[in-house]
Amino acid sequence: MKTIMKKSVRYLLLYTGAFVALIWALAPIYWIIVSSISTRTELLSKPYKHWIPTHPTLQNFIDVFTTGQKYRAGGTLPTSELLISGLRNSMVISVSVAVLVTIVALLAGYVFARMKFQLKDPVFFYIMLLMPLPIWVSLVSLYFMMTRLGLTDSNLGLILILGTMALPLAVLLMATFIRDLPYEIEEAAFIDGASRWQTLWLVIFPLVLPGASSAFLVSFLNTWNAYMIPMIFSNTEKSQTITVVLSLFIGQYEVAWEQMAAATVFVMIPPILLALFFQRYLVRGLSMGAVKG
């Protein structure tokens, strides 16, 4: 009887903790959705905010993409053009960073996992040191260098910076995945006459596709959500990402919360769809690991 009671209490605590974590994660998303369909009167009501709008409206979405108020520092561009340029810049930068980082991480991970050369461990160690290193430590020198190269306020500059920041984690993921593969698979390919490049692209890459998907997804999400680097290195709509564009809703005398929430709903859609698309590859990777273990 005591054993049953202990199990019941354990499961009760487990499910209670999971429920609290779920509410903690979903509450901000629900707040944004509710705010996007609320009127300004309800949104700014005191002493509490309406969790269920009494007069839901889609006018905020219409205003954001048609005739809504201009952003602070928006110049002569209407809201819709700034939003579209921000979404375009974020998509171009995020996809470019994710693709480049995944390819480089695959090659570097294979080198560190399979090849032997001098200073291999120190080089890998110093690459891994870039992960905990705060970016603000090198901001001054980085800004000076990017200015001299003419890469400020450009998508290429942001791709280089954000890609460098995302690379160490991706290299670690790919090196770990490749290191766990049996070397006999490569030996069989070599015996059949395959070159190292053929073995890499025809044998290794299909096997580490779940790991590559993880590296791609993590790199994309980190780049899509980046704010400090785009805010510092982009000055105009030429390279401003959507995270920077959203901050322009904050004016000198007021904040367009309802329009910001409506725009944020659209901003959440691409990463959610991408995560759902890559979910099957991530689950396959976990299943492969479970079977192999």
Please give, one letter per residue, the 3-state secondary structure of 99-128. HHHHHHHHHHHHHHHHCCCCCHHHHHHHHH
Q: What percent of the chain has pLDDT over 90?
A: 13
**pLDDT single digits (tens) 255-272:** 777 888 888 888 888 888
Query: Element (H or E) spanning 172, and its range?
Result: helix 155-179
pLDDT band, very low/low/confident/very high, at 238 (cuts 50, 70, 90): confident
More confident: 86 or 120:
86
With a cut of 50, say whether residue 286 has pLDDT above it: no
Q: Are 110 and 117 in contact (CB under 8 A)?
A: no
- Fold type of domain 76-292: MetI-like fold (1.10.3720)
pLDDT band, very low/low/confident/very high, at 67 (cuts 50, 70, 90): low
d(Cα 207, Cα 200) in Å, to the nearest integer?
10
Q: Are 139 and 232 in contact (CB under 8 A)?
A: yes
Question: What mean pLDDT do residues 91-118 have?
Answer: 89
Read off the tokens for 84.
């579209």
- Residue 91: its pLDDT value, please? 93
118-140: string of b/e by CB count within 10 Å (b at 16+)?
A: eeeeeebeebeeeeeeebeeeee
pLDDT band, very low/low/confident/very high, at 187 (cuts 50, 70, 90): confident
Question: What mean pLDDT do residues 175-202 have?
Answer: 81
Q: Tally the C-alpha atoms within 13 A of residue 17's C-alpha that lie toward its C-beta.
A: 6
- Residue 289: its pLDDT value, please? 42
Look up tokens 């910076």; give the residue.
Answer: 161
- Residue 74: its pLDDT value, please? 46
- Residue 121: its pLDDT value, please? 82
Read off the tokens for 9.
């209490």
- Residue 188: its pLDDT value, please? 83
Average of per-residue pLDDT values in the chain: 81
pLDDT band, very low/low/confident/very high, at 44 (cuts 50, 70, 90): confident
With a cut of 50, say whether residue 92 has pLDDT above it: yes
Nearest to 186 by CA among 169, 168, 170, 208: 208
pLDDT band, very low/low/confident/very high, at 161 (cuts 50, 70, 90): very high
- Residue 2: its pLDDT value, please? 66
pTM exceeds cut of 0.85: no
Look up tokens 């901001």; give the residue.
Answer: 139
SS (H, E, C) 239-253: CCCHHHHHHCCECCC
Torsion of CA 270, 254, 67, 84, to 10 degrees: -30
**pLDDT single digits (tens) 204-227:** 888 888 888 888 988 999 999 998
pLDDT band, very low/low/confident/very high, at 77 (cuts 50, 70, 90): very low
Q: Are 95 and 159 in contact (CB under 8 A)?
A: no
pLDDT band, very low/low/confident/very high, at 102 (cuts 50, 70, 90): very high
pLDDT band, very low/low/confident/very high, at 253 (cuts 50, 70, 90): low
Query: Element (H or E) spanning 37, and its range?
Result: none
Name residue 176's amino acid: T
The domain limits of the chain are 1-57, 76-292
Most confident of 7-21, 29-43, 44-58, 90-104: 90-104
pLDDT band, very low/low/confident/very high, at 9 (cuts 50, 70, 90): confident
- Residue 1: its pLDDT value, please? 63
Give every CB contact of residue 47 below 8 A, 6+ residues apart in sequence: none
